[in-house]
Structure 1
């Protein structure tokens, strides 16, 4: 069992969203043991069927619980998106201050689609991600993370078992999150889209090319990316510009939520990543951006993340806006020796962004400084960002 950075509320109802396999149920069992809370598991077919047909039966169960001498004050509902109609009952009992509810979900899309009552601010929102390097602590291995990702179950398996698990994970996602929830009408174009999204991971989205390669129109591609976001399989990284209006005119990048799942979807699980190779560098950049994204959301920081691409095709990997007067520009390279020429090129790009600290993160353990650019090992860089 891994320690998690996320601290859940024990005094107020909440939603805990996260992709399948991130450890939501495990975390809730640790905070709300089954002998102290009333648990409803909607992944169990009998319970899903029962509450889908008769959502009011939850009220009967809760009223019975109220009559008990040593009644439970917390109710855990696992995978609430399976039966959105239950939220009406939940709302009533929260409003009457009779129970607190902890509700997990691996998709917000069905809740949005059903226009379900999201409890009008009566429940907090938390997100859980795959493990980060701080949670893995001394057990962390960069090579392992780049090859298999950091989903809790995948981390503890042998390489062969891990590959089977990740392939199965992708099939289960298609079967249970997409097909069974009727998010799309035709499965094959979406299956092709998933593979292409993994191959094009962390690149600027070219909607017309996606549409052509998948055999669908551009509006459908936009919908597909929305499905990935709503089912928590990834997130968009918007382009940076001081003008919010101009940001909205440019295309985002899309990052899948886990490196292992990305490799599985793209059919590259058997490919060994060799240090100093292009594929290793892409995986390392993906990893560092995922780490920062996870920590920003886990610690509930109101920071904005973006990338910068100039007219000349030069790029800054990540810009962190803590506030309009405090930004950090990051260049991320997997090299174990810092290349001063690359640092100088990065500095020329970042110097025109006002109120910006410049960090060059790599695998070089020797801290250095070239002009205004601090060169740090990626772990030290992340520590500095969140200090």
Structure 2
């Protein structure tokens, strides 16, 4: 299988921990396993492991204190940490009292906050894993990037359409609906359809609100949810100083991966010209 060397570098000095955030399938877990192959690794994507620590967060401290000194000199990896926010107090204690280092990996800091998770109060550096970027690809195929997107598995695969469709559906289900982040599911589903069309465009909150059957404030909250779950970014207009016209200026919204917009708006770009390409 083709692999791509990522340009992200995580080098932690003594007693320094870190968060590694990024959307699903961006390559976080693969990166950590490749770069820290001898580290102690907890994967909370495994249901039995997650349930074990939900029931008894202190088990993390007990298990680590039973490890040999050499193992504890390497960063300890906790993957999908947002699924078990209860362990964060134990992580905090181990950092402060035992000088251990952690790399805490996940797809949403919002879930930790909602679960009353301890975000370590500035004790951990912040890193973010994006989909593939130009320096990581020797000869980027622009048309392929626009259609497949730059999530590693999608960009490198010839059979990408079903994967992209499933990815969009999984995010709707897992990252938003299953987390009870919104109450009006039909309205949010209509909003999500509109997101693909507003990718890279100035946002008209009032127009989208009218189409979704909600008010503008709710639409702004929906966009913030997408930003918090790392599905995209709001880019505010640049201004040197405040002015009376500032409230009239709209931000732009960019999905984290251009390929994700394709299945939402049923778009397929066949040539490097035309309105869709531009």
Q: TM-score, normalised by structure 2?
A: 0.92
Q: Aligned partners of 1:202 and 1:279: how far apart in 2?
A: 12
1:107·1:232 contact (CA, 8 Å) conserved in 2?
yes
1:241·1:247 contact (CA, 8 Å) conserved in 2?
no
Deviations 1:113-159 (A, max 9, x none): 23422111111000110001110113x2111112211100001211x
Go from structure 1 to structure 2 and tell me whether the alpha carbon gap of 1:53 and 1:7 turns closer, same or farther (over 3 Å shift).
Answer: same
1:240·1:247 contact (CA, 8 Å) conserved in 2?
no
Q: Aligned partners of 1:201 and 1:71: how far apart in 2?
A: 45
- The answer to whether residue 71 in structure 2 is matched with residue 52 in structure 1 is no
Q: Aligned partners of 1:153 and 1:182: how far apart in 2?
A: 28
State the 1:255 CA deviation.
0.6
Deviations 1:200-222 (A, max 9, x none): 21111111111111122222211
2:201·2:253 contact (CA, 8 Å) conserved in 1?
yes
Where does residue 218 of structure 2 map in the other structure? 220
- Aligned-partner SS, 2:186: helix
Go from structure 1 to structure 2 and tell me whether the alpha carbon gap of 1:69 and 1:251 turns closer, same or farther (over 3 Å shift).
Answer: closer
Where does residue 376 of structure 1 map in the other structure? none
Deviations 1:165-189 (A, max 9, x none): 0001011111221122221223222
Where does residue 276 of structure 2 map in the other structure? 279
Where does residue 265 of structure 1 map in the other structure? 264
- Aligned-partner SS, 1:202: coil
State the 1:252 CA deviation.
0.4
- The answer to whether residue 122 in structure 2 is matched with residue 130 in structure 1 is no
State the 1:244 CA deviation.
4.6
Where does residue 24 of structure 1 map in the other structure? 28
State the 1:24 CA deviation.
0.3
Give ranges in structure 1 of 5+ residues lacking alignment. 282-387
Q: Which moved more, 1:1-10 or 1:112-121?
A: 112-121
Where does residue 176 of structure 2 map in the other structure? 178
2:65 aligned residue (42, 63, 67): 63
1:14·1:126 contact (CA, 8 Å) conserved in 2?
yes
Go from structure 1 to structure 2 and tell me whether the alpha carbon gap of 1:235 and 1:44 turns closer, same or farther (over 3 Å shift).
Answer: same
Where does residue 239 of structure 2 map in the other structure? 241
1:16·1:24 contact (CA, 8 Å) conserved in 2?
yes
RMSD over aligned Cα atoms: 1.7
Go from structure 1 to structure 2 and tell me whether the alpha carbon gap of 1:244 and 1:43 turns closer, same or farther (over 3 Å shift).
Answer: farther
Matched positions, count: 272
Where does residue 92 of structure 1 map in the other structure? 93
- Aligned-partner SS, 1:185: coil
1:238·1:247 contact (CA, 8 Å) conserved in 2?
no
Go from structure 1 to structure 2 and tell me whether the alpha carbon gap of 1:245 and 1:42 turns closer, same or farther (over 3 Å shift).
Answer: farther
Where does residue 146 of structure 1 map in the other structure? 146
- Aligned-partner SS, 1:137: coil
Go from structure 1 to structure 2 and tell me whether the alpha carbon gap of 1:120 and 1:213 turns closer, same or farther (over 3 Å shift).
Answer: same
Greater relative contact order (CA < 8 Å, ≥ 6 in sequence): 2
- The answer to whether residue 40 in structure 2 is matched with residue 42 in structure 1 is no
Q: Which moved more, 1:252-261 or 1:114-123?
A: 114-123
Give ranges in structure 2 of 5+ residues lacking alignment. none
Q: Aligned partners of 2:135 and 2:100: how far apart in 1?
A: 34
1:273·1:279 contact (CA, 8 Å) conserved in 2?
no
* Structure with greater Cα Rg: 1
Where does residue 83 of structure 2 map in the other structure? 82
- Quick check: which one's helix share is greater? 2
Where does residue 113 of structure 1 map in the other structure? 114
2:196·2:264 contact (CA, 8 Å) conserved in 1?
yes
